Amino acid sequence: MSLKDGLRELYHFIPQFVRIGRKYHALYKKYSELQYLPYEQRLAYQLQELQHIVSYAYDHTRYYHNLFDECGVDPYNIRDFSDIRKIPLLTKDIVQNNLADMVSDMIPPKQLQYVTTGGSTGKTLGFYITADTDRRRLAFEWIHWKAMGYEMGMPCAVLRGAVVKDGWFFYNRGENQLIMSTYDMLEENMDTYLEKLVEFSPRILRGYPSALTILSNYMVKNNFNPDRLRSIQAISTSSEVLLAEQKEIIERAFNCPVYDKYGNCEQVGVIGMCRERHYHEFMEHSYLEYLKDDGTPAKDGEFGEIIGTSFINEAVPFIRYQTGDRALLDIGHHCVCGVESRIIERMEGRTGDSLITKYGNLISITALNSHNDIFDHAKRIQYYQDEKGVVILKIVPRSDYTEGDSKKIYAELSEKFKDQVELRLEFVESIPLTPRGKYKYLDQRLKL
């Protein structure tokens, strides 16, 4: 073992509570206390944060400085939430084409961390964050998790698309997590998955709704006794829309509550389910608007596209960003959980489509989302399937796309598919829009 590997191994023996540092704990304390302020005080704080990010973006980025001047927006005169409607909506294309001008001149280059979105709309997006951004993101994650009884150090099992190179499971000592492959969930393997869960005895189970539904259906079908997994006190779902029927079967199989959370890689919104099963905005994380198809604000009881303005990433400010996701606004319910915020009835727009392997099991398309640079030289991608066990990845290449990009894409996806799916790359000039004007990340022609 090299010295570097030895130090890494030693690092993971340090409790997570210690490893994440004092700055994180200060942020967590601050945001936790703000959660329980009266609604009007939270609104005042949110407006203050909105005023800050708008003026900051104008002062420290070329893109917003020029945009606000062109549109006649006074960044120092945001008196009300409605004032930002003068600012044009931000899209992935705009960020992609103007990234250099969107980077803040207040952040030293060595502090910038390049990240990419998973591309669930068919187009990946690269931008920058800082260590502070990630600390803030983690603070909101733990606010949500602690509301469901999850504390740092508790044993947690995870079914969220990680690649397990040797076998189907591995143990993350540093965070006391059992990582379980979502790519090997064949029916004949389910008993092994369940026995591994029984052996590990996690307090919390986290996963994609689609993966947890596969496991839950097997448990119910085969009369698996949930008492064998009574150590699991709560289940956390995210990254896909949680359907009502999925929530029902998961809670039935495990005999414990499901807590769902909406978020995105761009960090422009977090909406989490409380113990009373209501979705609440995390108001200190971002400011959210909900716009109907005609561009007007949605009212209670109406659907609207989520438009987010982030408060946690000053490296590349995202102001009025179109997420492509939709939410149904609640009709005036008051929640007794103690958190006063806008309540969302349900989320829509990111249902976890799946691929069918040659063995007949399903792989969530969310699990294939890539958070590195393998698609940086592709304008757009789309998975296409009309044959069991065969997937075509359609790629609209950029001018700088090379054979090396194909090799990287093929290597990463083949590692995830293993021997279950034959992957073919197909280069196309364009990918057609849906009737709603959106790109489909997966064009699935087979009946699931």
Quick check: do 16-141+263-348 and 149-256 share a fold?
A: yes
Indicate the CATH number of 149-256 among 3.30.70, 3.30.160, 3.40.190, 3.40.50.
3.40.50
Residue (of 364, 154, 355, 129) closest to 239 by Cα position: 364
pLDDT at residue 351, as a whole number:
44
Q: Left, alpha or beta for 21 (phi > 0: left; psi -120 to 50: alpha)?
A: left
Q: Please, are residues 341 and 273 in contact by the beta-carbon 8 Å criterion?
A: no
pLDDT at residue 243, as a whole number:
82
Q: What is the CATH number that goes with domain 354-444?
A: 3.30.300
Residue (of 197, 238, 196, 218) closest to 364 by Cα position: 238
pLDDT at residue 437, as a whole number:
45
Three-state DSSP at 99 gives helix
What number of residues does the chain have? 448
Give the integer Cα–Cα distance in Å for 374 and 116. 10
Q: Please, are residues 45 and 153 in contact by the beta-carbon 8 Å criterion?
A: no
pLDDT by 10s per residue, the chain, length 448: 565 555 556 666 676 767 778 999 999 999 999 999 999 999 999 999 999 999 999 999 999 999 999 999 999 999 999 999 999 999 999 999 999 999 999 999 999 999 988 655 556 789 999 999 999 999 999 999 999 999 999 999 999 877 777 778 999 888 999 999 888 888 889 999 999 999 999 999 999 888 898 899 899 999 999 999 999 999 999 988 888 888 999 999 999 999 999 999 899 999 999 999 899 999 999 999 999 989 999 999 999 999 999 999 999 999 999 998 889 999 877 889 989 999 999 987 654 468 999 988 888 776 776 666 788 888 878 899 999 999 999 999 989 999 999 999 999 999 888 889 999 999 999 888 665 444 677 888 887 6
Six token digits for residue 179: 């990582």
**Amino acid letter, 19:** R
Is the whole model's pTM more than 0.85, yes or no?
A: no
pLDDT at residue 362, as a whole number:
82
pLDDT at residue 393, as a whole number:
96
Domain ranges of the chain: 16-141+263-348, 149-256, 354-444
**Which residues are within 8 A (CB) of 436 and not within 5 positions of it... i.e. 6 or more apart?**
none
Task: Report, at the CATH architecture level, how domain 16-141+263-348 is classified.
Answer: 3-Layer(aba) Sandwich (3.40)
Q: Nearest 5°: phi and psi at 179?
A: -90, 125
Residue (of 12, 42, 56) closest to 341 by Cα position: 42
pLDDT at residue 228, as a whole number:
97
How far apart, in Å, do the first and last CA atoms of the chain sit?
Answer: 46
